[in-house]
Amino acid sequence: MTAADAPPPAGPVHLLVEHAAELVTLAGPPGRGPRRGPAQAELGIIRDGAVAAGADGRIIAVGPTDTVRATTVLAPGAEVIDATGRAVLPGFVDPHTHLVFAGDRVDEFEQRLAGADYLAILAAGGGILRTVRATRAANLAGLSRRAHAALRAMLRHGTTTVEVKSGYGLTTAEELKLLRVVEGLRPSVNQTLVPTLLAAHAVPPEFADDPDGYVRVVCTETIPAVAGAGLARFCDVFCEHGVFSVAQSRRVLEAGLAHGLPPKLHAEQQSHTGGATLAAALRAVSADHLDHATEEDLARLAAAGTVAVFLPGAALMLREAHPAPARQAVAAGVPVAVATDFNPGTSPILSMPLIIGLACLRLGLSPAEALVAATINAAYAVGEGERAGSLELGKRADLVILDAPSYRYLPYCFGLNLVDTVVQRGRVVVRHGRLVSEPPSPSSWVMA
């Protein structure tokens, strides 16, 4: 049964978006899972389309405008948005961010431009460890204020679901602090937040001579404490030479699994380590970065059903010479997603439309494949694929209206924010490019 053939909704419509030039639904059969192979480019576009939301903020009708109008009843005071000439899409899902941190690393950006190596900066106590020092010194209010500013910017660019990693604490108490910041943001932000424990982001200075000792702390103290408090949905690890080995990464992720936290991995970013093979062996929800993944790695990820999350913004900032193998991943049948990797060191990028452009220009994806990567596949990469990422009955009414007639303008107008309106859970939160409740300055995370 298609969306147009769906039965009338059970309740009145509280929000109706109609007459979309393109209603990009990304609809698929129930239980289909993330899109892969040729399906990576299937968008389910409805011309002159409409989508309706009920009082609970969920979608209750999708289809041609005439059909939706004929099968729905507007509630008193319902908002009706005429999207004539505009494209309407699912809200973007950002499946990999490091949102909660203090400080910045603008001088390291200049160091890398002058030829400094990312891992060498980390080994000298900079990079992630520099942000750890600043974040440990920050209080909850300051961390929350900065994260809130970043989320507002993301929302203006159409991002309605955000994965948020810890990882700048590197002690049990500090990792709990960061995840409590995420929990505390929920009542005051519009987006859906998906927290991930990344205690194994780097070896902290106090364990510089005993990385296995730190892994023991993560496995026996941090993971049980975080899982017991219900503060994370996933467990992640940075599997990289000079950071955490495959064996250490396995220990962390298996401990996470034992405490109900499915695995995710930073894998094959700076070099080939075997992290992608580990991700496939553990049937990780996602394997992220993958700049140095091989054809064999991709075949294993495809067989495991693991989503490959590519981060073209980080690769650009690090001036990687060769693009990550996203094109090969699609050909191998791996579900492909993209993300900002928002962080203060290697990707201070907040815009998913910008990442869609980079996915086309740097990774070789088509506009349709890149849009799938930024919506439904990104949703599956953070366990939200049955609730977000497409415009289908019962899902959250998270959607974006572009100031353009087609989704294809997103990568074409590279660097331009075409997001006019954002709807989160059936409520307009961005109108004409501005937050409905625009807070006082500062508006950027840099000054927050």
Domain boundaries for CATH 2.30.40.10 within the chain: 3-90+389-435
What is the spatial order of strands in the sheet that 13-20 belongs to?
59-64, 49-53, 13-20, 74-82
Say what the pLDDT of residue 22 is. 99
Average pLDDT on 186-190 reads 90
Ranges 3-17, 42-56, 428-442: which has the least confidence: 3-17
Exposed/middle/buried for residue 413 (C-beta within 10 Å: 0-12, 13-18, 19+)? middle
Phi-psi region of 305 (alpha: psi -120 to 50; beta: other; left: phi over 0): left
SS3 343: strand
Say what the pLDDT of residue 439 is. 65
Q: Is the pLDDT confidence value at 3 over 50?
A: no
Distance between start and end Cα atoms, the chain: 49
Q: Is the pLDDT confidence value at 29 over 90?
A: no
pLDDT, tens digit (0-9, with 9 covering 90-100), for 248-272: 999 999 999 999 999 999 999 999 9
pTM to 2 decimal places? 0.95
Ranges 4-18, 125-139, 281-295: which has the least confidence: 4-18
Decide: 125 and 370 in contact? Cβ < 8 Å: no
Domain boundaries for CATH 3.20.20.140 within the chain: 92-380
CATH of 3-90+389-435, one of 1.10.10.10, 2.30.40.10, 3.50.50.60, 2.60.120.200: 2.30.40.10
Average pLDDT on 399-422 reads 98
Domain spanning 92-380 has what CATH number? 3.20.20.140
